[in-house]
Structure 1
Amino acid sequence: MRKLINNPDNLAVELIDGFCLTNKSKVKRIAPHVCARVDAPIKGKVGIVIGGGAGHEPLFLEFIGKGMADASVHGQVFTAPTPDKVLDAIKAADSGEGVIMIYNNYAGDVMNFDMGQDFARLEGHKVETVLINDEISAFPVDQAEERRGTTADHLVIHVAGAAAEAGMGFDDLKALIERAVFNCRSLGVSTSECTLPETGLKTFELPEGRMEFGMGIHGEAGIEQVDLMTADATAERLCDAIIADLPFQSGDDIIALVNGYGATTRMEMFIVMRHMHKYLESKGMSIHETELGEFCTAQEMAGVSVTLMRLDDELKEYYDMPADSPGYVKA
C-alpha cells in the first residue's frame, strides 16, 4: 500500500497542519496535537473536548465547531494522545463552566485521558468524562461498560455540543450525554484490510471473497468471518444484531446511519441503506433521519458499519439543532 506521506513520525502534526490551513476561519491551533473552534473558550458554556488516535478522519479532528465539540486532541495513527496534550485541550475549552470529555472506550485512551483529567483537576478545572461504547460485538450486554466506541461518535458529540450551545448546565449535560451513548448501538463488517502508514503492514488478514463481522476500527478481531454476502443480506444481519441488543422495538423513533470505513464506495453504502431503510420500517420503526457517509474511517479499510440511535423527545430536540463543523454540518 502506497501512501502520500513524509516522515511517519510527523503524521499527526502534518495532518493537523493541513486541517487548520484548510479551515482557518473555523479552527485555531492550540498546540502541535490540539486544535479548537476559533471562538473557544466560550463564556457561559460548558466545554466539550474530544479526541483519540489519528487515522479515523473525519473523527475526531473534524468535529469541532458550533453544535459540536470545542477542542480536539490527537495522537499518532491509532495511538492515544498523551496526557499533557489532553490537558492542553481541556484548557482550550474551559470558560469556567467546566469541561466534559467524550472519547472512545479503548484502554490507551482511557489511561491517558484520565491522567490528563487528573492534571487538569489539580490546576482547578472541573472535568468529567463520558465514554462512548456503542459497538456491540466485543462484549455481551451485561458487560456493556467494556465495549469499544465506534461510529456513534458524531451523533453523541452533536447532541452534547448542541445542548452545551443552548446553555445546559454541567450535571444535566453529563446525564444527557450518557443517555445518548446508551441509546446508540453499532456493528460493522469489513471486506478488506487496512494498513498502518508508519510501516505499510496490514493490521489483519482477510482472505479474498470473505468478510468479517465485528471487526474493530484498529483491526481488532471480529466475531465471525463468512463468505461475501449480498448487500441486502448484510444489512439485515447487521440490523438484526443491533435491534436485539438494545432492544429496539416497533414504534421507536430512530436515526439510521451507514458509515463507510474509508475504501467503501458511496454506491455500496446507498445500496445497503436502501434495504436497511425498508427493513427497519417493516419492523415498525420510525426513521427520524437517515445519515450516510464516512464519519469514522480506518485508513483504507473497506466495509460498512450500521448505527441506530433511539431518540426520546430531549435527544431529538438537540439532535435537530444546527451543527457547523468541517466534518459534519447540520442545517
Structure 2
Amino acid sequence: MTQIINNKQDMVDQSLDGVAFIHKHRLERVAKTGIIKRRDLQSVRGKVALISGGGSGHEPAHFGYVGAGMLSASVSGPVFVPPSSAEIYQAIQLMKEASEVLLIIKNFEADVREFLLAEKKAKQDGFLIDHVIVDDDCSVEEGSLKKRRRGVAGTVFVHKILGAAAAEGKSLSELKEMGEEVIANMNTLGVALHSGKITGETKELFQLSEGQISFGIGIHGEAGYRVEPFYSSEYLANELVNKLAAQSDDIKAHDLAIMINGLGSTTAMEQFIFANDVQRLLQLEGIQVAFRKAGNFMTSTNMAGISLSFLILKDTSWLTYLEAGTDSFAW
C-alpha cells in the first residue's frame, strides 16, 4: 500500500514539524528534538507540569494531549522506540516555570529505563520530580496466564485526569497518589484484524490470515495470545466486555468510564458499531457508564483493530477531571 511520505528516515522529524505548523497558536516544537511543548508554559507557574511520551507510531499520542488541562510537553522517539533520556531531560529543563514535574510513563522496559534515567538526572540538578507507570494492558502472555501489563490506551485517561487535577493546583504527591489509584482501577484489551506495517516498511508486523482476529495484541505490533476466525462485532464486544469486567469484583458498585480506541486504520463506522454492541452488553449486565470516548487515541501505525479500556470511577473527582475542559487537539 502506497503511503504519503518522503524519505523514510525523515518521517518523524517532518510529522513533528507538521504538528507544530497546524497547531502553531498553542504548540511549539523544540528544534531538532522530539519535544512538543505548550506555547503558554508560563501558565503552569507554581503548578505541577506533566510530561509524557514514547516512540512515534502511536499518533495522535503523545503530542495530541499537550495543552491546557493535560500535558505540558511530550517527547517522541523514533517509530516504536522511546526518546533518549537526554531529550526527556531537555523537556524537564523547559519546565522551570513549574513548581514540580510528574512523568507519565508507559510500562515498556525501554521507556521506563529512559524516563527514569532522565528523572534521576533531574533530581540531581534540583528538580522536584516524580513519576507514575501506566500498566493497563490485562492481556495474557501466549501459553501462560501471566498478564502482560503493558502501558496502552488507558494512558490517555491518566493524561486527562492528572492534567485537570494539576491545572486545579494539586501537588506532586497528590497527583502521584491519584495516578496510582487510577491505574490500579483501569484495564485495557486490544485486538487486531490486520497487523499493519511500520510506516515506510513493507514487512507485516506479524502474520494474520484474512478473516482471522488476534486477541491481546500490543501497540508496537506484538502478536496476541490467541488467533481465531472473526465472527462479528457483537461476538468481539462480548469477549472484551466479559474479560474486562472480570478484572474487578465490584464493577457494578461504581460508575464506569470507557474508551474505544482505533488502532490506526479502523474506520469511524466500525468503532461506532462496536460502541453500540458494548453499550448493549453493559446495559444487560447492569453496569453504569458515566463517561465514554471513541476515536483514535493510541494507535499502532496502520494496524486494523480496536482496543477497549475500562476505568472504574471509584473517586467521583475522576469523572469531574475527565469532563473538565482542555485545548489538547486529540482529546
Identify whether the pair has TM-score above 0.5, normalized to the shorter chain.
Answer: yes
**Cα separation, 1, equivalents of 2:316 and 2:198:** 42
Q: Does 1:230 align with 2:224?
A: no
What residue in structure 1 maps to residue 256 of structure 2? Answer: 254
Identity within the alignment, %: 31
What residue in structure 1 maps to residue 37 of structure 2? Answer: 36
Equivalent pair of 2:55/2:78 in contact (CA under 8 Å): yes
What residue in structure 2 maps to residue 45 of structure 1? Answer: 47
1:188 Cα offset (Å)? 1.1
1:315 Cα offset (Å)? 1.4
TM-score for both structures, normalised by structure 1: 0.94
What residue in structure 1 maps to residue 287 of structure 2? Answer: 285
What is the letter of the counterpart of residue 10 of structure 1?
Answer: D
**1:21-54 deviations in Å (ceiling 9; x for gaps):** 0001111122421011111152111010010001
**Cα separation, 2, equivalents of 1:248 and 1:224:** 27
**Cα separation, 2, equivalents of 1:11 and 1:120:** 30
What is the letter of the counterpart of residue 35 of structure 2?
Answer: V
What residue in structure 1 maps to residue 21 of structure 2? Answer: 21
**Cα separation, 2, equivalents of 1:9 and 1:105:** 26
Q: Which moved more, 1:36-45 or 1:153-162?
A: 36-45
1:314 Cα offset (Å)? 2.2
**Cα separation, 2, equivalents of 1:152 and 1:15:** 24
Name the Cα RMSD after superposition.
Answer: 1.7
Please list every run of 5 or more consecutive structure 1 residues that lacks an aligned counterpart in the other structure: none
1:261-280 equivalence runs, <5 A: 261-280=263-282
Task: Identify if the C-alpha distance between structure 1 residues 289 and 96 changes in structure 2 by more than 3 Å, giving closer, same or farther.
Answer: closer
Equivalent pair of 1:138/1:148 in contact (CA under 8 Å): no
Task: Tell me the secondary structure at the aligned position of residue 280 of structure 2.
Answer: helix
**Cα separation, 2, equivalents of 1:306 and 1:257:** 6
Task: Tell me the secondary structure at the aligned position of residue 255 of structure 1.
Answer: strand
1:214-229 equivalence runs, <5 A: 214-229=216-231
TM-score for both structures, normalised by structure 2: 0.94
- Among candidates 177, 188, 191, match of residue 189 of structure 1: 191
Q: Does 1:7 align with 2:27?
A: no
Q: Does 1:318 align with 2:321?
A: yes
Equivalent pair of 2:49/2:100 in contact (CA under 8 Å): yes
Q: Which moved more, 1:23-32 or 1:164-173?
A: 23-32
What is the letter of the counterpart of residue 70 of structure 2?
Answer: M
**Cα separation, 2, equivalents of 1:277 and 1:248:** 19
**1:258-311 deviations in Å (ceiling 9; x for gaps):** 111111111111111101111112212111022111101111111111111111
1:128 Cα offset (Å)? 1.1
**Cα separation, 2, equivalents of 1:255 and 1:238:** 15
- Among candidates 132, 135, 138, match of residue 133 of structure 1: 135
**Cα separation, 1, equivalents of 2:249 and 2:187:** 10
Please list every run of 5 or more consecutive structure 2 residues that lacks an aligned counterpart in the other structure: none
What is the letter of the counterpart of residue 39 of structure 2?
Answer: V
Task: Identify if the C-alpha distance between structure 1 residues 248 and 8 changes in structure 2 by more than 3 Å, giving closer, same or farther.
Answer: farther
